[in-house]
Structures are given as structure tokens and as C-alpha cells.
Amino acid sequence: MTRENPLLKKTITIAQLNEIIDVELGPSEPITMTQERINLFAEATGDWQWIHTDPERAASTPVGTTIAHGFLVLSLTAGMNQQLLNIEDAPSRLNYGLDRVRFPASVPTDSVLRGFTTLKSFAQASSGIQLKFEVRVEAEGIVKPVCITEFISVIPGTRLIQHGEA
């Protein structure tokens, strides 16, 4: 994998996808994981587990504070990916799914997160061009990544141009 310059973001065309295979882009702009953001996610999902939403009770845990929901961190990966890679001739990019998700470390409240993305492959699918990325989220001061996922998106209704086609 090739690691590009800090704060590298790319704007490319569909024809240039092959040029960024295995090139890590990032970091994304920082996102602070506030208690307010965590509570809003709890409200939206109904996941009010105390380790996320009760700072007084969480103060007695080894982390010493509340931690973000893993799925909240995961939900940020789509925006980080879009921020780091703009495909200018793609009419849109739809989230298609995930092949693998891991949360190697917890995200304490007020952590600052940044994302990195690497295009691993792309292929023609019946619905359009399918892109597979490895997206990694890191938190300042935490050695391990806080989320790693194989993220799949689709550029709907588009075809890869084959060599010799116009």
C-alpha cells in the first residue's frame, strides 16, 4: 500500500480508478466525538446502553468516561470516504454494504477521529461499478485503530469503458 501525503484528498474520473488502487488517502478532517453526538445517536437508534450515555456511571470504568457506539463510528466512514475521494464523473455513489467490520479499540468521549481510505478493487456489476475500499478510523492518542471496515459502494447505472470502446 502506498501512503500519500498528509491531508491528501483526490478528485479523479472513473477512467482513473486504476491509478489509485492501494493508495491510502487521508486523513479526513477531524471529528470530535462529543457526548451530545453520542446521545443523538442513542436517540436515533434506541441504544441507551449506560457505557455510552451515563457519564457518572462510566467514570468508574477502566476508560473513565463514556465511549461512542461502535456503529456510530462505523456510520462516519461513508462521509470520510466521500470526503477523501471525489469521482467527478460519477452521478452518485451509493452505500452497497460491508464485508468486514472490526472495532479494535474503544472511542472515549471527546476523542478526535480521522479517517483513511484505500481503494482495494473495482469491478463492473449489474447495478453499476462496484468499488471496494478499506476504511480505517483512528483516534488521537489511541494506538490501535478504532474501526476498520471493508466498505463497498456502487456508482449506479455506469459502465467501465473497455479498451477500444469509445
Q: How far is CA 120 from CA 38, 42, 92, 147, 156, in A?
A: 31, 32, 19, 17, 19
Q: Dump pLDDT digits (tens) for 24-71.
A: 999 999 999 999 999 999 999 999 999 999 999 999 999 999 999 999
Which residues are registered as beta bridge partners of 133? 119, 151
CB atoms within 10 A of CB 28: 24
Set of cell numbers at residue 152: 463497498
Q: pLDDT band at 75, cuts 50/70/90?
A: very high
Pairwise CA distance, residues 94 & 130, whole Å: 10
CATH fourth-level superfamily of 2-156 = Hotdog Thioesterase (3.10.129.10)
Give the predicted TM-score (pTM) of the model. Answer: 0.91
Q: Are strands 94-102 and 112-125 parallel, antiparallel or unpaired?
A: unpaired
Domain ranges of the chain: 2-156
pLDDT in tens, 109-122: 999 999 999 999 99
